[in-house]
Chain A
């Protein structure tokens, strides 16, 4: 176990193993997202209440899931970096932040667009949308903090601390916003929580969620590899790799 962690911590080893893993995740991501898209847009039945506008769920929910999971992954990577000084963990955390912010934006955008046919307005201070907006600010804070330091090591450690502080706060923020919302807007129709979705609505959603997660893993592997090339450009193995690829 320990030797595995330390092996994983070596950029050279990670670069090699990720090259083998990466294609599988890309294939899974592309396949699942294509199947989910066709199924969700063409074959899933229309919702009895919202009609066809409910098809936004197939991008809104996976993006929202990913937005939250990426923040947690980023904090875990930060913890691993702070405790074991594993550089690859920090590289992964660094490339996860923009992806997470992008996914948060997607879920906010699709939620706002969904609001027009459902609520008749572009923006409603709905509990989920509000927590998502706060999550976007948390992502922007982490990205901005990492960019503000000139020394890479300080930037990495500061971003790790902030991600960990953020991840402790996310459940508190989420519960307090939920509580605030129920206090001010009792019994309003929330767009995504519904009782017992039928199977042929629910399955494409599961496929899309899995596809989005595969995409997240594939893109993180790819960009972590880029980050390794950038930060380890002076190492001998990177040079040999480049000369070999010539």
Chain B
């Protein structure tokens, strides 16, 4: 029973099996590798949020005003909101394809704890969505005349914050993966929960512009990430079970 499933989870690994407890690391590695390979083969899905991010940022100067002084004031909030929406956009596909082809059920049947495997999937999602968004944000910051001295803080706060966004968002994605029109519902479920991250993330950038210390903001983001890391995997696992068995 164990053998074929592990083999399916880890196409690159030989199915020589040890005890399930020792296999946790193996399973985690296999899940990470599998998801990375799958996502890198579907480059469009990885690029979509980034293009969306850039496009939304382009809309604002057109819609509001090209005046650099005005843009500089609203830039931290704009960049954060746009990045948050781009991360939200990518959430629906987090479990969707695995749900459609049945590999999510295999994940549920695996002897390793589902919360750990789900965490590995979320980590890949962050690596290919949150991190690129964080690295791209400073470039868009230049276009929005973001005052100097805040670029590093922008990238760091987005990198930390988007990890929280991925974790919380994965709960919503797991709850709605079995629903036909889950996409719209997903944003309703997840966006209210994103507000504290937005407040402290954008707050960090604004503090950096004002010349205030930013460690407090980043520390709170880190604390939120720690709480999310502790609690979210269980909620994701429970939600996946509901979506699959229900």
Binding site for B on A (CB under 8 A): 82, 134, 137-138, 140-141, 144-145, 148-149, 151, 153-154, 157-158, 161-162, 164-166, 168-169, 172-173, 175-177, 179-180, 183
Contact = CB atoms under 8 A, between A and B. Distances in A.
Contacts of A179: 199
Chain B: interface secondary structure?
helix
Contacts of A172: 196, 224
Given A157-B242, A161-B235, A168-B231, A177 B188 contact: no
Contacts of B178: 149, 154
B235 A176 contact: no
A162 B175 contact: yes
Interface in B173-219: 175-176, 178-179, 181-182, 185, 188-189, 191-193, 195-196, 199-200, 203
Given A144-B189, A165-B193, A176-B200, 8 more contacts: A145-B185, A148-B182, A158-B239, A158-B243, A161-B171, A161-B238, A169-B196, A172-B196
Contacts of A82: 238
B195 A158 contact: no
Contacts of B168: 165
Interface in B209-246: 224, 231, 235, 238-239, 242-243, 245-246
The 6 A-B pairs at the shortest CB distance, nearest first, are namely A154-B246, A176-B196, A137-B192, A141-B189, A176-B199, A180-B199
Contact of A144 (B188, B231, B245): B188
Nearest to B202: A180
Given A154-B242, A158-B239, A180-B199, A148 B192 contact: no
Contacts of B203: 180, 183
Contacts, number: 78
Interface in B136-164: none
23 contacts: A82-B238, A134-B195, A137-B192, A141-B189, A141-B192, A144-B189, A145-B176, A145-B185, A148-B182, A148-B185, A153-B246, A154-B246, A157-B238, A158-B242, A161-B242, A162-B175, A164-B235, A169-B193, A173-B195, A173-B196, A176-B196, A177-B195, A180-B199
Contacts of A145: 175-176, 185, 189
Interface of B: 168, 171, 175-176, 178-179, 181-182, 185, 188-189, 191-193, 195-196, 199-200, 203, 224, 231, 235, 238-239, 242-243, 245-246
A175 B125 CA distance: 29
Contacts of B200: 176
B60 to A, nearest CB: 20
Given A140-B188, A158-B242, A161-B235, A176 B175 contact: no
Contacts of B188: 137, 140-141, 144
Contacts of B191: 137
Contacts of A149: 178-179, 246
A176 B195 contact: yes
Contact of B246 (A138, A151, A164, A176): A151
Contacts of B242: 154, 157-158, 161
Contacts of B239: 158, 161
Contacts of A165: 168, 171, 193, 235
A168 B224 CA distance: 12
Contacts of B181: 148
Given A161-B175, A162-B175, A166-B193, A177 B199 contact: yes
Contacts of A180: 199, 203
A148 B179 contact: yes
Contacts of B176: 145, 148
Contacts of A183: 203
